[in-house]
Amino acid sequence: MHTAPAPHLAGNYAPVETELTAYDLPVTGRIPPGLTGWYLRNGPNPHDAASGHWFFGDGMIHGVRIEAGRAVSYRNRWVRTSTFTDGAKVNDIDGTLDLTAGTANTHVVRHAGRTLALVESSYPYELTCELDTVGSYDFGGKLHTAMTAHPKTCPATGELHFFGYSLTAPYLTYHRADATGELVISRPVDVPAATMNHDFNLSANHVVFMDLPVVFDLETARSGGGMPFRWNDGYGARLGVLRRSDPYGEVRWFSIDPCYVFHTLNAHDRTSPDGHEQIVLHVMRYPELFRKDGKDAQHATLWRWTIDLTTGTVREEQLHDRPAEFPRIDDRLAGLDSRHGHATVSRTPTGAVSQGALIRYDLHDGAVTAHEFGPGRTPGEAAFVPADDRPGGDGWLMTYVYDAASDTSDLVIVDATDLAAPPVATIHLPVRVPYGFHGNWLADQPLTNGRLT
């Protein structure tokens, strides 16, 4: 008797079965000729075609190489973690903790010359420029916790800020690596339980942690298969503020309404008109998530939280009502007052939403524009690709788009300043790219007093 696959293993969630390299990809439109580098995106692709949840599949990187206006090649490669090669588990039956185990399926970033595939339960895995796996990376033996899939690079210092969370105390640890890749700070952050910390906030002067009521649930974990975290009505929600200038100092906590946030857009410091010291956070906020009965709110929308360090209060405001996720900015403005942010409207296994689109938020005047892909065309997260040396200036959004009618995928480049216009270029890929998580444009050389046209 035929059994239908689980939703997270069907349609464009279904894994691809082979690794492929293809050259001289066809293009509709015109790739900006100044672009030279890799667009890389990570996502779950179980090599045995099975996993208990979308989040748990083995990591696969999909990469397109662009050189001076040409789509030179496409390749996809599994990340060869110890789980992939040897079936290793992070927490083995004898209680041994193996942080080389895991899926490395969530993000791919570059820091201090290393390209790292990330998942929040384990060590990073280093990749070559051809997407081959070098091995797990523990910052020269200095990292002793897992690493978040959402580290943040300070554009002023080049430092990489990140954290690791654990199922045992200390549940949360903050880390900082300098611009050369040396791990220079590791300190525990006191939280009362093992909560799912997927992301955090970084401003020029502060790190802001989110202690939210999605908590590790032992009963669910023992049942196997699904997410081992559940919504907890009694846990509460709060934001923890640490001054970057005092990394081992006090973490000051601020209560907020219960909610969950997978992804933050950005944060910045400001002084209010009445002289109050404030931190402004923009996040994609779910009212609740992962209730045991499954009856929770399934969509995130853009919110602003304003932490007033002078009064000890937080103002919470919803800014837009269209469900969206995967927020991104021009990363050169991380921790600063970025006027514009972008997010993706797509479909997820937790519930269908409207047809796929990219959204551009004006965080100063509230204007919102969108690029609508039309029925059956679903984008993933879109990375911002700068067009010039001005942080927050012109640029493009780059994303994989799945076409249900043809069961194929494209890499689409859209003008970030004119979302209503047709795509600048559509690079046609030889295979379907399954829905995935996060990625980046990794330019061969950073911009230096010039413009890519």
Does residue 438 have a known ligand-binding role?
Answer: yes
Does residue 340 have a known ligand-binding role?
Answer: no
Does residue 150 have a known ligand-binding role?
Answer: yes
Return the HEC string of the chain.
Answer: CCCCCCHHHCHHHCCCCCCEEEECCCEEECCCCCCEEEEEEEEECCCCCCCCCHHHCCEEEEEEEEECCEEEEEEEEECCCHHHHHCCCCECCCCCECCCCCCCCCEEEEECCEEEEECCCCCCEEECCCCCEEEECCCCCCCCCCCCCCCEECCCCCCEEEEEECCCCCCEEEEEECCCCCEEEEEEECCCCCECCCCCEECCCEEEEEECCEEECHHHHHHCCCCCEEECCCCCCEEEEEECCCCCCCCEEEECCCCEEEEEEEEEEEECCCCCEEEEEEEEEECCCCCCCCCCCCCCEEEEEEEECCCCEEEEEECCCCCCEEEECCHHHCCCCCCEEEEEECCECCECCCCCEEEEEECCCCCEEEEECCCCEEECCCEEEECECCCCCCEEEEEEEEECCCCEEEEEEEECCCCCCCCCEEEECCCCCCCCCCEEEEECCCCCCCECC
Does residue 198 have a known ligand-binding role?
Answer: yes
What residue numbers does the annotated binding site for Fe cation cover?
150, 198, 263, 438
What residue numbers does the annotated binding site cover?
150, 198, 263, 438
